[in-house]
């Protein structure tokens, strides 16, 4: 199961940190862009080359420090098929380095279209025309209802894939829809999504989690504890620390009593931890490594303070 593989990598690395991979070209070390421009010019092909080179730099730096990475599709798709190719190259390279990969795609549609999206990311299909490169999990938007979710959940169950459904996102306007109470149920939209997640939370893995997870933003700390109570068997993908200002000290609320169950996402504060684009690649690596070590320490310290830092007993 995806959930079991994630927990086992957490135990191995002593880290709950997920490093986002959101390529912003103007923030890359200039030496990487200069090489790409020399080879391909300032073109989408050059951008795709630079993205993959920068992602390799990050992955090589953090591969033994974190369990998982999360590339955001929009940053790749803007560079045409060259950017999409860089995304799949990144997926393959990260997995070869022992990392799990979440595609932050937030897909959502109905019927055969949703099925095609699921097959695009999971590759759990007998179609001989598609490649075998697949992500380990994907984020999905529940706005279209179960029609949009079922193809992902059905294809992920039994295929060691994770479906991570948006529940309470980290952005300032999330409550405009997600917090609204429905008259018929007396529950918020987010809570109705939780009901769906719980209905599809079998099988449960050996560490107590299913392969159907939830996105719960760190910027709404009071909701972390509430949703952990509602969704005891779901992994939480928790964005919002770093530039969005989520309080690391409150992150323990997203974990169960054994100190497991959350994937803490941080992107720009790690990707671009160096001070200037004029850095060398080695200087960039050193800054990224320092940022990862700092976030790992902060997250683990918060868990220790809350009495939730996991022990090797969770393996028993």
Packing angle, helices 80-96 and 44-62, rounded to 10: 20
d(CA 29, CA 91): 22
Q: Is the Cβ–Cβ distance between 197 and 234 less than 8 Å?
A: yes
Supply 150's token pair. Answer: 């079922």
188: nearest Cα among 218, 236, 149, 230: 230
Q: Round the CA-based radius of gyration of the chain to a whole number and report it.
A: 19
Q: Is the Cβ–Cβ distance between 273 and 291 less than 8 Å?
A: yes
Quick one: CA torsion of 142, 299, 253, 199, rounded to 10 degrees?
30
Q: Is the Cβ–Cβ distance between 25 and 77 less than 8 Å?
A: no
φ and ψ of 132, to 5 deg: -100, 0
Q: Is 238 exposed, middle or buried (0-12, 13-18, 19+ CB in 10 A)?
A: buried
d(CA 25, CA 52): 11
Active-site residue among 5, 45, 70, 106? 106
d(CA 10, CA 220): 24
106 included as an active-site residue: yes
Listing DSSP states for 98-122 in one string gives T-EEEEEEEE---HHHHHHHHHHHH
Catalytic residue numbers, as ranges: 106
């Amino acid at each position: 199961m995806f959930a079991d593989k994630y927990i086992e990598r957490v135990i191995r690395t002593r880290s709950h940190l997920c490093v986002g991979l959101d390529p912003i070209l103007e923030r890359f070390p200039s030496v990487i862009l200069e090489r790409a421009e020399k080879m391909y010019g300032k073109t989408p092909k050059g951008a795709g080359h630079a993205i993959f080179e920068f992602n390799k730099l990050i992955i090589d730096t953090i591969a033994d420090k974190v369990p998982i990475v999360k590339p955001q599709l929009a940053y790749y798709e803007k560079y045409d098929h060259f950017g999409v190719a860089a995304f799949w190259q990144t997926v393959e390279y990260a997995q070869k380095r022992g990392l799990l990969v979440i595609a932050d795609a937030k897909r959502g549609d109905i019927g055969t279209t949703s099925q095609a999206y699921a097959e695009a990311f999971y590759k759990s299909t007998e179609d001989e025309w598609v490649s075998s490169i697949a992500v380990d999990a994907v984020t999905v938007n529940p706005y279209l209802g179960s029609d949009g979710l079922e193809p992902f959940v059905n294809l992920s169950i039994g295929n060691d894939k994770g479906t991570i459904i948006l529940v309470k996102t980290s952005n300032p306007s999330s409550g405009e829809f997600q917090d609204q109470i429905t008259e018929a149920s007396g529950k918020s939209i987010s809570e109705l999504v939780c009901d769906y997640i719980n209905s599809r939370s079998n099988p449960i893995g050996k560490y107590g989690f299913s392969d159907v997870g939830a996105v719960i933003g760190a910027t709404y700390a009071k909701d972390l504890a509430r949703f952990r109570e509602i969704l005891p068997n779901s992994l939480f993908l928790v964005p919002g620390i770093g530039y969005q200002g989520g309080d690391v000290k409150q992150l323990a609320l997203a974990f169960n009593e054994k100190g497991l169950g959350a994937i803490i996402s941080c992107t720009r504060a790690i990707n671009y931890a160096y001070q200037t684009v004029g850095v060398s690649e080695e200087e960039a690596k050193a800054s990224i490594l320092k940022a990862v070590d700092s976030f790992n320490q902060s997250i683990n310290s918060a868990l220790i303070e809350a009495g939730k830092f996991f022990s090797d007993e969770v393996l028993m």
